[in-house]
Amino acid sequence: MLTASLLSATVISAPVMALNIVLTNDDSWDTQNIQIMKSALIDAGHSVIMSAPCTGQSGKGGAMTFLKPVSVDETKAAQQEFCVGDTDTSVAFADYAEGTPVMAVLYGIDVAAQRLWGQAPDLVISGPNEGNNLGFMNNNSGTLGATMIALSRGIPAIAVSANENTAHDADQSERVAHTVVEVVAKLASSRPSGSPLLPAYTGLNINTPEEMVNNLGYKFTDVGWNGGGIEFKFSDDLSGDAVLIGYMVQKLMAGGMDQATAKATAQTAMQGKQGLSFSMGDAGDTNANSEGNAVKAGYITISTIDGNVQAARAKVSLTEQRLLGLN
């Protein structure tokens, strides 16, 4: 395990190596996390293009809208900030085109980066997400969807996911952004001359714990299956979902509502409503080195990922043996 203090000391002693970075997310361009992340990267000397969805696109995975024209908001082009996707909900469904994380990052890579740098970025950073993306949940994550499409282009990419408290706690957001800047600096200072930041088609999935002030340092982890202690289910009455109600209460309290009123409001709003819900569970994965367990314990986790859905060779061989004889 590499402690946070050791990594910090290494980074501080290393020269700044400016990179061209496309920054995206799945929570929209108008969020605290992405704005603070952009500022931190620029302060560290990097050139940054923000290309994100115009509206919240959490849980969209690798979704994309195609065979339709897509709106791009370039009103903040002078600040190298762009958002992708329609925002006028009065548009007919057949014509409405959402800007998913995959589409947003591709705009950054294929259009904005070419205009500004004349080439692909050195790095794509997706996040920080308002909520952790761990284990099996990575399959559904828009944060990871944008990361994977960048990896498919051979561009090094880092997915960053933080606790939900970063949606309204600027101090936590600042600490997460500083963590990412440290990791990027370490990658840049340690790479061989002329080499990319990471091996081809390889990325990182970084998750930060609830309390960054007292985090236990960096831990290199496996993705595993544990989604951080939660699993999906479909509920016929969302008012009984403790995780969902807790999330809504947190949002309402961030808007100034007291806790008791926020809880009553959330439960009334969800009473009798059906929809996707959460239950508590570890997906059968209690391995301390799985990122879902490690981030819950208080570590900043770093898992190495790639854009290939190929199973490990040992699993392939076992499966192929069972299928022998198929015509």
* Catalytically annotated residues: 161
| CA dist., res. 29 & res. 22, Å (int) | 13
Beta strands in the chain (DSSP E): 20-24, 47-53, 72-76, 81-84, 123-130, 157-162, 202-207, 218-221, 230-235, 275-280, 300-306
Where b means 16+ CB within 10 Å and e means fewer, 85-104 reads bbeeeeeeeeebbbbbbbbb
Q: What are phi and psi of 72, to 5 degrees?
A: -130, 125
Cis ω on the peptide bond leading into residue 196 (within 30° of 0)? Answer: no
Q: Hey, how many other C-beta atoms are within 10 angstroms of the C-beta on 128?
A: 30
Q: How many Cβ atoms sit within 10 Å of the Cβ of residue 140?
A: 18
Pairing state between β 81-84 and 47-53: parallel
Contacts of 129 (CB under 8 A, 6+ apart): 25, 26, 27, 33, 58, 141, 143, 159, 160, 161, 162
CA dihedral defined by 33, 36, 40, 43, rounded to 10 degrees? 160
Helix extents (H) in 44-169: 101-107, 113-116, 142-152
Distance CA 137, CA 156 (A): 21
Rounded to whole angstroms, the Cα distance separating 245 from 265 reads 9
Give CA–CA dist 108/249, Å, rounded. 35
What is residue 288's DSSP assignment? T
Q: Is the CB of residue 186 less than 8 Å from the CB of residue 8?
A: no
